[in-house]
Structures are given as C-alpha cells and as structure tokens.
Chains A and B, each alone.
Chain A
Amino acid sequence: MNLVATLGASALLTALAASLFAVGAAVAGQRLARPALIEAARRAIVVTAALTTLAIGVVGYALLTDDFSIAHVVAVSSRDMLPHMKWAALYSGQPGSLLFWTWLLSLMLAAFALLTVPRIPWGAAHATAASGAILAAFLVPAVFLASPFDISPVTPEDGTGLNPLLVDPAMLVHPPFMLAGLVSTAVPFALGAAALLSGRIDGRWIRAVRPWALWSWLLLSVGNILGAWWAYTTLGWGGFWGWDPVENSAILPLLPMTAFVHSLMVQERRGMLKLWNLALVFAAFALAVFGTFNVRSGLVTSVHAFALSDVGPYFLAVLSITLGVSVVLLGWRSGRLRADHDFESMASRESSLIVNNYLFTILALVILGATLFPVFSELVRDVRITVTAPFYNDVVGPLVIVLLVLIAVGTVLPWRRAASATLVRRFRVPLGVLAGSAALLAALGMRDGFALAAVAASITLAYVTLREFVIGARGRRAAGGQSWPAALLALFERDRRRYGGYLVHLGLAVMAVAVVSATVYQSQARGILAPGESFEVGGYTLAFEGLRERAGTANGIETEVLAAVTVLRGGEAVGTLEPGRRFFRNFPEQPMAMVDVDTGWREDLYVFLQGWDADGVAEINAFVNPLMAWLWIGSGIYVLGGIVVFAPQPARERVPAPAVPPSGATTEA
C-alpha cells in the first residue's frame, strides 16, 4: 500500500464528506432554527479547505520526492525537473489541474466563510449551503473521475515530464492566477444565491458582494493579461491574443464580472438593476464552469474527443444544473426585484453604465457563440470549421471602439441628471479632442479606418480620464492649498473606488492603442537563409550568422538549437538576437519555440526560428510590433488601478453639508 497516495485520497474523500455535511447542516440548521448547526456548517467549509490543502500538499510532496508509483507524478514530472518547475506540475494534467482548481476554490470559499459569512446573519445558512454544494460538485470528479492519487500499474524509473508548453517561467504564474480568477466567481454566485434563497434582496447583499466581485474581476484580469504575455513570449506567432477556444473561455467570465462591478454601483446608489445584477453574477459563474468544462472535456478539439472524455459529461451536467438553478431562483424571486427608484434622465452616469452593461452582454454572447459555433457545425452537418482571429477582430473590434467611447461618455456624465446646457458644456472639449485627434491621425497618414477610430477613441478616453484627475486635484488644492502631487495622492486616499476606476480606464485606453498598433501595423517577413545571408523586416536587416546546439540540463529538455542573428538598422549593428527551438526527451513531437524579442518603447522586434535543414540553412520568422511594450505598460496601469479600487478605503472624514443654494433651486434629498 502506498501510504502517501492513501493519505491524499483519504483527505480528498473526507473533504467531499465535509462539504456535503456543510450542505446538510446548513439546510437543517435553517429549517430547525438551530444556529449551532449553521455554525457547524460554516466550520465544515473551513475544514474542507484544510483537507483539500492537505491533499494538494501530498501531491506536492509526491512530486518533490519523485514518487513514481503515483500515475499522476509519472505523467507530469521527471527526476531532472527543477523544484520550481514542479510547482507547475502541480496544476498540469487533468487530475492535477482539477485538484488545483478545487483547492483554490476551497481556499476562496473558506476565506468567504471566515470573513463574510459571520457578517451576513440574514443569509449565512444559505451562503454556506451554496458554498458546500459548489465544493462538492468539484470534489466529486477529483475523487472519482480523475484522481491525482491513482496508483500507476508499474513504477517506472523516471517520469514522462512536464508538458513542454508549461516549461516556461510565465507558466509559473499565469495558470494560478487564471484558475484563481475562475474559481473566485463562486463567491459572488454563492452570495447571490443566498440573497435569493433568503429573500433578502436589498442593499446588504450588494455591500457584502462588492469586495468579492472586485477581487474576482482583478484576478480574472491579471490571469488574462498574464496569459497574453505568455502567448506572446513563448508561442512564436508574434501576437498576444489568438481567440483560441481556451483563451475565449478565460475571458468570458471577465465580461459579466466587469459589467457587474459597474452596475452594482447603480444598485448601491439608486436601488436599480437588482435582477440584472444577480443575473450577472450567475452568468459569470456559469461561464467559469463552462470554461472548465470546455477546456477539460476535449470539446474544443472535437465533439468526438468530448464523447471519450471522463469528466466532459459530468461538467456538462454541472453546467446545466448551475444554469437551471440560476434561472429558477431568479424566476422565483423576480417579483421582489423591483427598483427603488426610476431613472431621472437618459443623460446620466447610471444610464451610461447600463448601456455599457448591454455592450458587455453583446460581447459575451458573440464570443460564446463563436467559440461554440465549430461544435454546432460538427454536430449539425459533420463539417469541421475554424472560427479564427479575423472573424473576432472584425466583430469584436468595432464593439470595443463603441465601448471605449461609452466609457468616455460615462466619465463625463454626472449621476442622476444633467441639464442640457451642462451637457453641452461638458461635452464640448471631449468632442473636440475626438475630432481633433482623428483629423490629426488622418493627416499623419493613418489610413486604416478601424485603427483611426480606435486610437481617436482611446485618446479621447485618456483625455477625459486625466481631466477628472486634474479637476479633482484642483479642488483639493483650492480647499487645502496642497501641491499637485499631494493633491493627486489625496484623491486616491479620499475616493479609491472612483479614482482607481479611472486609472483602470486609463490603462485600458493605453492597452487599446497598443493592441491596434501591434495588430494593424504589424510587419512580418520570413527569411530562408544560409549563414551570412540576411533579410529585411520593418526597417531592420536581420543577418543570420549560424546555428549552434546546446544540451539541455533540466526539466526534460534534451537539446536546444539556437540561431545567432545580428540586427542592423541603417547599416549599423544595433544588437543580436538568438531565437531557437527546444526539444524535449519525452515529447519528440512537441518542440517548443524559444522566441527572442528586442523590446523598445517604440516597437518590438520579435524573432522566431521556424526550422532549418541539414546544410545549416535556417528559416527565420520576424515580426515588428509597433508600440507593443505599451500593452504591458497599459496592463500595469490597469492592474494598479484595480488594486487601488480593491484596497480598503480608510475611514472617511465627514464633509460638512453644502451651503444654501443662491436662489430657490430645490435639490432632492
């Protein structure tokens, strides 16, 4: 008997039992009005997390000690793997990723049980039961369908090693963030379900859900950004977002979550959109489950792979139940979801937030439909097709331009209502900036209509956002006589949500410019070259010097072939690059690109070794991506803004009520 595997499997099985106990105890405690039972259920969630942590600890131990009697360790690890790479092995393969996902889920729900559940007496039982049910739903496949503790029929001398795709530094951070983002949607879902089940659908659930929704939105954002960075630096196609079914699965839950962190403000301030807000958190969780199902089940490969998968049908059932429960709950309580207030004006910030929500809904529907369309095509007429980047760029691109413009409009509009004279005054300059920047870009030679519109919209968004900072800081200066930097800092101290949010918008504007620039104005060239020959791409001359080979030392790498390339600009050598190809001992069919990038403020030179022949003639692919670095700079601003929004607001100073109006103007209390 393998003690290690037995310990891990027992921990998982006990965790499943604890999660089921939490459901039962919470339901019974509520029915019988026994608070002790509800408290026991809450603690059972924490116990589930502890047991799942023990299970993942056991997997980690087995990986570190090269315990090849366990099938999962054989499949994802090998003796020469460096310890930090074994962290990546923890979440690779079906059983590993499933357990890792469940572990993060249990941590998230335990934190929820410890931090939030004690503060929501109105829905503690319901939230705990929902948490337990979600945990059980993910523990079942980890215990019965794809256990990481299954014993290998034979104990080999060495393991197969990590999937080559994962042997990369970016893979040490991207999957944990991505998976954490996906599972974090479970907390808003559990809270929403608790609000509906308990019938307390007022401001309280919104106050409780806000930090969790922001947390989830932040994790999903970081996960997607790191994914783009990984794709850019390892995949060797010169791009950062390929509209791959897996990428789509990752970005889909982010869309309703982003919509939600905006529309919850409308409910907080105006008591509107109650039903809609619940629908958004349910959609985010359902899409996160869909993503897991989509990736784990083999559905993206083909319908036939799905039929062969163990966990595919199971997750399809989980997804159906999630959707069914959401619809039933919403339908059941819809009568109680009346708004407290009505709209006062279409020209208000709340209306622009609602319209932005519509746009996120359209984006989610379009991306979901296009991701599933190949499946329908195969099911309906048995023809395989691919829906690829050009389609998405054509459809999503214009929608994103509209989104950028709407964010700018929303920034300019005040809450509740604005008189037409005010509107004219507020919009005059931004409209001027929009028209002016478009005219200027056209005059500078920008001919692509899409790029022109997107960049002009981004500039306008950046302008109105920066203007808010200036207006706010000027107010502080007028009030307290502070210096500009101190006044700007004080803005963040005083209202993190508002100014952090503006920072996110600013980051988005910078990212949009970089995305458009690096997509529309990308240059690509390929050279098939003997040593000493050169080719040109986007103003650079790339001279191929020759190939060299070096033996791998760890992580299952057998050998690396590197091409020395001298980069010349205007006849002068400006640097050397060394793209290559990495071969893995146990994955001969799956060599990985070793991309080399010369990053600059203005553009990236991205070089990739495509192949070579016996005579040393190499095939080199090169891209010039204008303004590419700004995608990462914009991402940094975006994430920084997200952290500012998420950080707890220090206790607020009381501000005296405004002076009496100059004449008989009435303001609503």
Chain B
Amino acid sequence: MPAAVRLALIAGAAVTVAVAGVWASGNLGATAGPVGAQDFEAQALQIEQQLMCPRCINVRLDHCELTICEDMRAEIRDQLAAGRSGDDILLFFSDRFGDAVLAELPREGFNLWLFGWVGGSILFVVAIGATALWRMRRGAALVPAGAGGALDASEERWLDEQIRAREGRE
C-alpha cells in the first residue's frame, strides 16, 4: 500500500473516531439517575432495579405491572422513609420471597456451581482447542522451510500481493 494512501486511511479513521466520539460524548459523562428533588425517587428506583417480580419470569420490579409489585414498590418507599438501607431492604425481600427475587445472583453456596460452569467451559474449550490446534499444526513441520524465511522483502511483498489477489478472485 503506498504510504500516502495509508496515511490518508489513518487520518480518515482518526477523524471519524474523533467526530463520532465528540458527537456521542454528550452521553459519556452521564450517570444513571436524576438529581435534586428526585433523589429519594432515584434511590427507590435503584433498589427496584436490584429486585425481580416474584410472580413473573425475568421481569424486573421497576417495570412490572402486577399489584404485588406495586405493593413491593410502596414497601420500598416506606422502608426508605423509615431510614432503612438498601441492603436491609433487599434482605427483607429475599427473606420473604426467596433468592429468586434478587436480580443479582448471590455469589455463594450452590450458586458457585454456575460460576464454576462458566470457568470450566472456558478452560475445557481452551484446553481441547489448543490440543486440537497443536495436532493440526504438527504435520506442517514437514512442509519445506524455504517458503517463508528464505525470501527477501520484495519477494515477500510480491507473494503477499499474489495471495491477496488470489483471495480476491476466490
């Protein structure tokens, strides 16, 4: 690739990123939740977001429409007004309805098996995959070594272009 084109591409990419970044940056500093007089409501909302509807499948408390959820939201406000902390309120609901109402899975006890499954899956695939790659690679040692290292820079460049051109055709 000629140096001028490469430079133009880099410059183009940088400008695009900068423009997109500046354009979107109005959003970057934003933090969830409003300020001022809405503080109490925002605090309640934050707790609601950590709870699930006890009757539904995967519906968060803050947007559930069931009566039981309306009652739970009212309960959160009452308890907040009475000065209880967010953690206390979460504990109150998980005691009452079980762990299923907690949006964030407690990382303890039996639940650790899930984290074990995630880690195990990654390790398993990486281990099996690395072995398979190694076995597929093994035969390649038989390929004559001349094709790679023995070329000078211009030959290397020519070969690269040919392969690219061929890829383009395929």
Interface residue ranges, A against B (CB under 8 Å): 235-238, 242-245, 272, 300-301, 339, 342-346, 351, 354-355, 358, 361-362, 365-366, 369-370, 373-374, 376-377, 380-381, 383-391, 395, 414-419, 421-422, 429, 432-433, 436-437, 440-441, 444-447, 459, 463, 467, 470-472, 474-475, 494-495, 498, 517, 521-528, 535-538, 581, 591, 593, 602-603, 608, 610-611, 621, 624, 626-627, 655, 658, 661-663, 665-668
Taking a contact as CB atoms under 8 Å apart, the answer to whether A370 and B65 are in contact is no
Taking a contact as CB atoms under 8 Å apart, the answer to whether B10 and A244 are in contact is no
Taking a contact as CB atoms under 8 Å apart, the answer to whether A386 and B102 are in contact is yes
Bound together, the chains give a CA A397 to CA B136 distance in angstroms of: 30
Bound together, the chains give a CA A383 to CA B136 distance in angstroms of: 46
Least CB separation from A381: chain B residue: B110
Bound together, the chains give a CA A622 to CA B138 distance in angstroms of: 58
Closest Cβ–Cβ distance, residue A445 to chain B (whole Å) = 5
Bound together, the chains give a CA A353 to CA B32 distance in angstroms of: 38
Bound together, the chains give a CA A416 to CA B146 distance in angstroms of: 15
B121 beta carbon closer than 8 Å to chain A = yes
If the complex has contacts A390-B103, A655-B169, are A343 and B133 also in contact, measured as CB distance less than 8 A?
A: yes
- Please indicate the chain A residues that have their CB under 8 angstroms from the CB of B70 in the complex: 611
Judged by DSSP, the binding face of B is: helix
Least CB separation from B100: chain A residue: A384
Bound together, the chains give a CA A658 to CA B114 distance in angstroms of: 55
Taking a contact as CB atoms under 8 Å apart, the answer to whether B105 and A391 are in contact is yes
Bound together, the chains give a CA A370 to CA B32 distance in angstroms of: 27
If the complex has contacts A342-B136, A538-B30, A608-B63, are A369 and B45 also in contact, measured as CB distance less than 8 A?
A: no
If the complex has contacts A386-B58, A414-B163, A535-B38, are A441 and B21 also in contact, measured as CB distance less than 8 A?
A: yes
Closest Cβ–Cβ distance, residue B131 to chain A (whole Å) = 12
- Please indicate the chain B residues that have their CB under 8 angstroms from the CB of A627 in the complex: 24, 27
- Please indicate the chain B residues that have their CB under 8 angstroms from the CB of A610 in the complex: 63, 65
Bound together, the chains give a CA A388 to CA B106 distance in angstroms of: 11
Closest Cβ–Cβ distance, residue A258 to chain B (whole Å) = 16
Bound together, the chains give a CA A517 to CA B24 distance in angstroms of: 9
Bound together, the chains give a CA A415 to CA B168 distance in angstroms of: 11
B91 beta carbon closer than 8 Å to chain A = no
If the complex has contacts A444-B25, A495-B170, A602-B23, are A358 and B58 also in contact, measured as CB distance less than 8 A?
A: no
Taking a contact as CB atoms under 8 Å apart, the answer to whether A440 and B18 are in contact is yes
- Please indicate the chain A residues that have their CB under 8 angstroms from the CB of B153 in the complex: 421
Taking a contact as CB atoms under 8 Å apart, the answer to whether B168 and A495 are in contact is yes
Closest Cβ–Cβ distance, residue B1 to chain A (whole Å) = 7
Bound together, the chains give a CA A663 to CA B163 distance in angstroms of: 16
B148 beta carbon closer than 8 Å to chain A = yes
Least CB separation from A661: chain B residue: B158
If the complex has contacts A362-B122, A436-B14, are A386 and B52 also in contact, measured as CB distance less than 8 A?
A: yes
Closest Cβ–Cβ distance, residue A547 to chain B (whole Å) = 16
Q: A366-B118, A521-B28, A665-B147 are in contact. List 7 more A-B contacts (CB 8 A).
A: A351-B133, A354-B133, A365-B124, A373-B114, A422-B156, A437-B21, A522-B32
Q: B72-93 vs A: 1/0 string, CB under 8 Å? A: 0000000000000000000000
> Which has the most chain A C-beta neighbours within 10 Å: B105, B111, B126?
B105
- Please indicate the chain B residues that have their CB under 8 angstroms from the CB of A386 in the complex: 52, 58, 99-103, 105
Bound together, the chains give a CA A593 to CA B143 distance in angstroms of: 65
- Please indicate the chain B residues that have their CB under 8 angstroms from the CB of A416 in the complex: 163
Taking a contact as CB atoms under 8 Å apart, the answer to whether A422 and B158 are in contact is no
Bound together, the chains give a CA A228 to CA B42 distance in angstroms of: 27
Bound together, the chains give a CA A536 to CA B30 distance in angstroms of: 13
Q: Which of B124-161 contact A (CB under 8 A)?
A: 124-126, 129, 132-133, 136-140, 143-144, 146-149, 151, 153-160
B4 beta carbon closer than 8 Å to chain A = no
If the complex has contacts A386-B58, A415-B163, A459-B17, are A524 and B45 also in contact, measured as CB distance less than 8 A?
A: yes
Taking a contact as CB atoms under 8 Å apart, the answer to whether B52 and A521 are in contact is no
Bound together, the chains give a CA A498 to CA B164 distance in angstroms of: 13
If the complex has contacts A390-B104, A475-B165, A608-B63, are A445 and B52 also in contact, measured as CB distance less than 8 A?
A: no
If the complex has contacts A419-B148, A627-B27, are A444 and B159 also in contact, measured as CB distance less than 8 A?
A: no
Identify B121's interface contact among A345, A369, A446, CB under 8 A. Answer: A369
Identify B34's interface contact among A342, A470, A525, CB under 8 A. Answer: A525
Taking a contact as CB atoms under 8 Å apart, the answer to whether A525 and B38 are in contact is yes
Taking a contact as CB atoms under 8 Å apart, the answer to whether A537 and B105 are in contact is no
> Which has the most chain B C-beta neighbours within 10 Å: A377, A390, A537?
A377
Least CB separation from A437: chain B residue: B17
- Please indicate the chain B residues that have their CB under 8 angstroms from the CB of A474 in the complex: 5
Taking a contact as CB atoms under 8 Å apart, the answer to whether B33 and A433 are in contact is no
Closest Cβ–Cβ distance, residue B86 to chain A (whole Å) = 15
Taking a contact as CB atoms under 8 Å apart, the answer to whether B158 and A662 are in contact is yes
Bound together, the chains give a CA A343 to CA B144 distance in angstroms of: 14
- Please indicate the chain A residues that have their CB under 8 angstroms from the CB of B13 in the complex: 433, 436, 459, 463
If the complex has contacts A365-B125, A608-B63, are A342 and B41 also in contact, measured as CB distance less than 8 A?
A: no
Bound together, the chains give a CA A274 to CA B20 distance in angstroms of: 43
Taking a contact as CB atoms under 8 Å apart, the answer to whether B21 and A440 are in contact is yes
Taking a contact as CB atoms under 8 Å apart, the answer to whether B105 and A387 are in contact is yes
Taking a contact as CB atoms under 8 Å apart, the answer to whether B162 and A422 are in contact is no
Closest 9 CB pairs of A and B: A342-B139, A626-B27, A365-B121, A237-B63, A384-B100, A369-B117, A358-B129, A244-B58, A343-B137
Closest Cβ–Cβ distance, residue B74 to chain A (whole Å) = 11
Q: List 6 A-B contacts (CB under 8 A).
A: A244-B58, A342-B139, A388-B103, A388-B105, A524-B45, A665-B159
Closest Cβ–Cβ distance, residue B105 to chain A (whole Å) = 5
Bound together, the chains give a CA A613 to CA B162 distance in angstroms of: 74
Taking a contact as CB atoms under 8 Å apart, the answer to whether B28 and A446 are in contact is yes
Bound together, the chains give a CA A19 to CA B32 distance in angstroms of: 56
Closest Cβ–Cβ distance, residue B64 to chain A (whole Å) = 9
B95 beta carbon closer than 8 Å to chain A = no
Least CB separation from B138: chain A residue: A342
If the complex has contacts A237-B63, A369-B117, are A626 and B24 also in contact, measured as CB distance less than 8 A?
A: yes
Identify B159's interface contact among A521, A526, A661, CB under 8 A. Answer: A661
If the complex has contacts A440-B18, A467-B9, A662-B155, are A342 and B165 also in contact, measured as CB distance less than 8 A?
A: no
Bound together, the chains give a CA A591 to CA B13 distance in angstroms of: 49
Closest Cβ–Cβ distance, residue B88 to chain A (whole Å) = 20
Taking a contact as CB atoms under 8 Å apart, the answer to whether B158 and A272 are in contact is no
Taking a contact as CB atoms under 8 Å apart, the answer to whether A385 and B103 are in contact is no
Taking a contact as CB atoms under 8 Å apart, the answer to whether B27 and A242 are in contact is no
> Which has the most chain A C-beta neighbours within 10 Å: B35, B129, B140, B168?
B168
- Please indicate the chain B residues that have their CB under 8 angstroms from the CB of A436 in the complex: 13-14, 17
Taking a contact as CB atoms under 8 Å apart, the answer to whether B100 and A385 are in contact is yes
Taking a contact as CB atoms under 8 Å apart, the answer to whether A667 and B24 are in contact is no
Taking a contact as CB atoms under 8 Å apart, the answer to whether A383 and B110 are in contact is yes
Closest Cβ–Cβ distance, residue A624 to chain B (whole Å) = 8
> Which has the most chain B C-beta neighbours within 10 Å: A355, A523, A526, A581?
A526
Taking a contact as CB atoms under 8 Å apart, the answer to whether B33 and A358 are in contact is no
> Which has the most chain A C-beta neighbours within 10 Å: B104, B111, B144, B159?
B159
Taking a contact as CB atoms under 8 Å apart, the answer to whether A361 and B125 are in contact is yes
> Which has the most chain A C-beta neighbours within 10 Å: B6, B99, B122?
B122
- Please indicate the chain B residues that have their CB under 8 angstroms from the CB of A385 in the complex: 98-100, 102, 105, 111
Bound together, the chains give a CA A386 to CA B61 distance in angstroms of: 13
Q: B60-71 vs A: 1/0 string, CB under 8 Å? A: 101101000010
- Please indicate the chain A residues that have their CB under 8 angstroms from the CB of B49 in the complex: 524
Closest Cβ–Cβ distance, residue B84 to chain A (whole Å) = 20
- Please indicate the chain A residues that have their CB under 8 angstroms from the CB of B129 in the complex: 354-355, 358
If the complex has contacts A370-B114, A373-B114, A537-B34, are A245 and B9 also in contact, measured as CB distance less than 8 A?
A: no
Least CB separation from A630: chain B residue: B24
